[in-house]
Chain A
């Protein structure tokens, strides 16, 4: 069942000034419940603008955004509820931290929802656990934490609202590989536990390939394609034409195919590649 849907969504910045620019151009798409979606696109392709429509931060110039089949702009008073149901974590979210303790900062969203103390406490503890923040950190000042920890506090702040759809805009930008893997695995664990819909904007094809069920590609304000991961990466030539890349391992296999060594070119994770190569090697040894 589709949970989020856009119909001919269009957004134009600074209408009527010399800076007028259409950032999202007639985008229609449908996102199903429980899906894990990767969002790709060049800088300035309109992906950040697009995702800000999903929770009603931006109002479409034309077109509609539907959450559970209801236009989110139909009733302006319910817009806040939409924001609790569609959680949005911005790029470099650590700048949104402002409270004195980690606990209180994570609790800011749930508190705005009007939940009672016990429920807030449960949610904060649970998400802190999900995202890998130990309990003794919760009473520390968030400004004393490391970059990666701050990032996780900020993500937890949105997760604690338990949104039906969680959108993360480049959650791993600017982190070292260890910090990146940690955040991604925590997000995956959260997805396993809650089965909520998750959208992740990322520039790393490797990351997207490992988690995404489907990939949404934006190019020049338009929806370039929105399809299953392997089908998107199968269009490697077109993808590289719009300035994006396929995972390194996919490129290796495309070259292997060109040389007639491998048959399969829909390879996009190292694990699968390893399996495939071992099988090929085994067969050769056998014959």
Chain B
């Protein structure tokens, strides 16, 4: 059941999106986010949507996966939509009951916000779906490396991130295993009353902590055995190199951003 978590999951592949330089992908994703938040008209959003769907198609990852990425945030989306729906008072009143009322402005805004957030989630999922966590942190380290001059521990931060990311699947698997083992001993974890379930949580958390500490200790030893002593003078197995396709992708993104800005300023409706 825990295996169904898709956020932050990586789908190996060989599409053009997969092969882009991860540094460019991060920058492009940031531009994409700006693009979604620049315009306040539906036309701007349509351009953003076109961009998102084009990128999704190019990635070759089934669209279903992107719907799945939205699913865990559904409650949040619904609450946002409802707040917009009821609290915006502009435009004509469509329906009212005591203090609640729905106006055309409210409907418009809630649909707009909903679409914007869904696109935002889908577009940023594309980054993690097509980039392995390790290359991703590599890219972050490189992008942040100017901060080293300000004595900001960029390498340590990136290392911490890659270790954390690396161990998410391991910990999920471990948790799954422990849950199964305790269920086999009759622990009620997804059934039973709230108090028994809470009590049984101890039987999962204790082994999980014990094994996490053990793992951390083993990892530290293994790193020391390979003479790890920070990022100073460390060379890389995989050098990040930018190619023409990266600049093209960046140019296309900037073009879409320009389109959004133009649509926002120039279109009459």
Q: Does B15 contact A (CB under 8 A)?
A: no
Q: Does B206 contact A (CB under 8 A)?
A: yes
A9 contact set on B, CB distance < 8 A: none
Residue contact A16 to B3, C-beta cutoff 8 Å: no
A109 contact set on B, CB distance < 8 A: 185-186
Q: Does A108 contact B (CB under 8 A)?
A: yes
Give bound CA distance, A83 to B188, whole Å: 11
Q: Does A146 contact B (CB under 8 A)?
A: no
B206-234 vs A, Cβ < 8 Å mask (1 yes, 0 no):
11001100000000000000000000000
B12 contact set on A, CB distance < 8 A: 18
Partner of B181, one of A17, A18, A90, A113: A90
Partner of A95, one of B178, B184, B185, B187: B178
Residue contact A161 to B186, C-beta cutoff 8 Å: yes
Residue contact A55 to B184, C-beta cutoff 8 Å: yes
* A18-B11, A98-B203 known; A93-B181 Cβ under 8 A: yes
Q: Does B183 contact A (CB under 8 A)?
A: yes
B43 contact set on A, CB distance < 8 A: none
A131-168 vs B, Cβ < 8 Å mask (1 yes, 0 no):
00000000000010000000000000110010000000
Q: In which size bucket is the chain B interface?
A: 20 to 34
* A95-B211, A113-B186, A143-B210 known; A16-B64 Cβ under 8 A: yes
Q: Does B128 contact A (CB under 8 A)?
A: no
* A98-B202, A143-B210 known; A87-B178 Cβ under 8 A: no
Partner of B177, one of A84, A87, A89, A90: A90
Interface centre among A16, A17, A96, A112 (most CB of B within 10 A): A96
Q: Does A52 contact B (CB under 8 A)?
A: yes
A14 contact set on B, CB distance < 8 A: 3
Partner of B186, one of A52, A90, A112: A112
Q: Does A97 contact B (CB under 8 A)?
A: yes
Q: Does B182 contact A (CB under 8 A)?
A: yes
Q: Does B180 contact A (CB under 8 A)?
A: yes
* A14-B3, A18-B11, A80-B188 known; A95-B207 Cβ under 8 A: yes
A16 contact set on B, CB distance < 8 A: 64
List the A residue with the shortest CB-CB distance to B185.
Answer: A109
> Can you report 29 A-B residue pairs in the complex whose CB atoms are below 8 A from each other?
A13-B3, A16-B64, A18-B62, A52-B180, A55-B184, A57-B184, A80-B188, A83-B184, A83-B185, A90-B180, A90-B184, A95-B174, A95-B181, A95-B207, A96-B181, A96-B203, A96-B207, A97-B207, A98-B203, A98-B207, A98-B210, A108-B185, A108-B187, A112-B185, A112-B186, A112-B187, A112-B188, A113-B186, A158-B184
Other A-B pairs beyond A84-B186, A96-B203, 12, CB < 8 Å: A57-B184, A80-B191, A83-B185, A90-B177, A90-B180, A90-B181, A93-B181, A95-B210, A96-B182, A96-B185, A109-B186, A158-B184
